[in-house]
């Protein structure tokens, strides 16, 4: 296994910090904002959850690619 690049570790930590720093209030604000554009409560919540899931999936993909190289 190749030694891990210190910059990759910093990027992974920063990505992790980003998700840990999101507050409940920010999620609720986002949900209300999306809902205010004409979506139902359920549709707005699904949009928020999908966005978070995609952000996390791509952050993990980015981290894995950096570790491999």
What is 6-43 written as a DSSP string? HHHHHHHHHHHHHHHT--HHHHHHHHHHHHTTT--HHH
The predicted-structure confidence for 44-69, as pLDDT tens digits, reads as follows 999 999 998 898 888 866 555 555 55
The predicted-structure confidence for 10-44, as pLDDT tens digits, reads as follows 555 555 555 567 788 999 999 999 999 999 999 99
What are phi and psi for residue 39, nearest 5 degrees? -85, 155
The rounded distance, in Å, linking the Cα atoms of 50 and 46 is 6
Q: Measured between alpha carbons, how far apart are the two ends of the chain, in Å?
A: 11
pTM metric for this prediction: 0.55
């Amino acid at each position: 296994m190749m030694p891990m690049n210190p910059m990759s570790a910093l990027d992974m930590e920063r990505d992790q910090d980003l998700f840990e720093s999101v507050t409940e209030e920010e999620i609720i604000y986002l949900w209300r904002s999306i809902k205010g554009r004409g979506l139902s409560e359920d549709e707005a919540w699904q949009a928020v959850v999908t966005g978070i899931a995609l952000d996390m999936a791509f952050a993990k993909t980015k981290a894995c690619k950096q570790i491999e190289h």
